[in-house]
Structure 1
Amino acid sequence: MARKTTASDVARLAGVSASTVDRVLNNRGGVTEAREKAVLAAARRLGLDRALNQRAARTLRIAVMTQPPSNPFHAAIQRGFEQANRSYPQFNMQFRLHHIDPARGGQTARRIAGLAANHDGIVIVSAYDADIAAALSVFTEAGKPVITLATDMPGLESHRYIGPDNYSAGRLAGTLMGRFLGREGGAVMAIAGMFNMVGQQERVSGFQAVLRERHPACHMEAVQESLEQGERAGELVYQALRRNPSLRGVYNASAGAQPVVEALKALGRQDVVFITHELTPEYRSLLKAGLIDAIIDQDPAQEVRTAVETLGAHFGRAEQPPASLITPVHIHLIENC
Structure 2
Amino acid sequence: MARKATADDVARAAGVSASTVDRVLNNRGGVSEIKERQVFAAARRLKLDRALDPRDARTLRVAAFLQPPANPFHAALTTAVQAANRGPDPFNIQTRIFHVEPSRPQQTAQRVQAAGAQHDAVIICVAHDDALARALEVVTDMGKPVITLATDIRCRGAIYVGPDNLRSGRLAGELMGRFLGAQGGEIILIAGLLSMIGQQERRDGFQAVLGERFPQCRVAEVFESHEDSARAGDLVYRALRRNPLIRGIYNESAGAGAVADALQRLGHQGKVTFITHELTRKRRQLLQAGAIDAIIDQNPSAEIDTAIRAIAAFYRRTAADTGSTVTPVNVFLRENC
- Give the TM-score taking structure 2 as reference length: 0.87
1:25–1:237 CA distance, 2 compared to 1 (3 A):
same
Residue 167 in structure 1 maps to residue 166 in structure 2 = yes
- 1:4 is matched with none
SS in 2 for 1:143: coil
CA contact (8 A) 2:297 2:331 kept: yes
CA distance in 2, matches of 1:77, 1:206: 24
Moved more, 30-39 or 20-29: 20-29
Residue 259 in structure 1 maps to residue 262 in structure 2 = no
CA contact (8 A) 2:14 2:42 kept: no
Moved more, 97-106 or 82-91: 82-91
- 1:323 is matched with 323
CA distance in 2, matches of 1:70, 1:41: 47
Q: How far apart are 1:91 and its partner, in Å?
A: 2.1
Matches within 5 A, 1:65-76: 65-76=65-76
Matches within 5 A, 1:182-201: 182-201=181-200
- 1:147 is matched with 147
Residue 295 in structure 1 maps to residue 289 in structure 2 = no
Moved more, 178-187 or 318-327: 318-327
SS in 2 for 1:239: helix
CA contact (8 A) 1:275 1:292 kept: yes
Residue 245 in structure 1 maps to residue 244 in structure 2 = yes
CA contact (8 A) 2:309 2:322 kept: yes
CA contact (8 A) 1:55 1:89 kept: no
CA contact (8 A) 1:309 1:321 kept: no
Moved more, 193-202 or 84-93: 84-93
Unaligned runs of 5+ in 1: 1-6, 45-49
Q: How far apart are 1:279 and its partner, in Å?
A: 0.3
- Quote the sequence identity (%): 55
Q: How far apart are 1:36 and its partner, in Å?
A: 3.6
> In the alignment, residue 143 of structure 1 is paired with which amino acid?
G
CA contact (8 A) 1:61 1:96 kept: yes
CA distance in 2, matches of 1:103, 1:78: 19
CA distance in 2, matches of 1:142, 1:125: 20
- 1:282 is matched with 282
Q: How far apart are 1:87 and its partner, in Å?
A: 2.5
SS in 2 for 1:187: strand
CA distance in 2, matches of 1:286, 1:185: 24
> In the alignment, residue 118 of structure 1 is paired with which amino acid?
Q
CA contact (8 A) 1:193 1:254 kept: yes
- 2:180 is matched with 181
> In the alignment, residue 164 of structure 1 is paired with which amino acid?
P
SS in 2 for 1:147: strand
Q: How far apart are 1:40 and its partner, in Å?
A: 7.2
Q: How far apart are 1:37 and its partner, in Å?
A: 4.5
SS in 1 for 2:305: helix
1:134–1:26 CA distance, 2 compared to 1 (3 A):
closer
- 1:78 is matched with 78
> In the alignment, residue 96 of structure 2 is paired with which amino acid?
R
1:134–1:28 CA distance, 2 compared to 1 (3 A):
closer
CA contact (8 A) 2:24 2:58 kept: no
CA distance in 1, matches of 2:121, 2:257: 35
CA distance in 2, matches of 1:78, 1:263: 28
Unaligned runs of 5+ in 2: 45-49
Q: How far apart are 1:322 and its partner, in Å?
A: 2.6
CA distance in 1, matches of 2:74, 2:241: 31
Matches within 5 A, 1:1-337: 16=14, 32-37=32-37, 56-154=56-154, 156-270=155-269, 271-337=271-337
1:89-116 per-position Cα deviation (integer Å, ceiling 9, x unaligned)? 3322221110001011111111112213
Cα RMSD (Å): 2.8
1:53–1:183 CA distance, 2 compared to 1 (3 A):
farther
CA contact (8 A) 2:37 2:54 kept: no
> In the alignment, residue 181 of structure 1 is paired with which amino acid?
L
CA distance in 1, matches of 2:242, 2:51: 66
- Give the TM-score taking structure 1 as reference length: 0.87
1:307-335 per-position Cα deviation (integer Å, ceiling 9, x unaligned)? 00111111122234531100000000111
Count the aligned residue pairs. 322
CA contact (8 A) 1:188 1:219 kept: yes
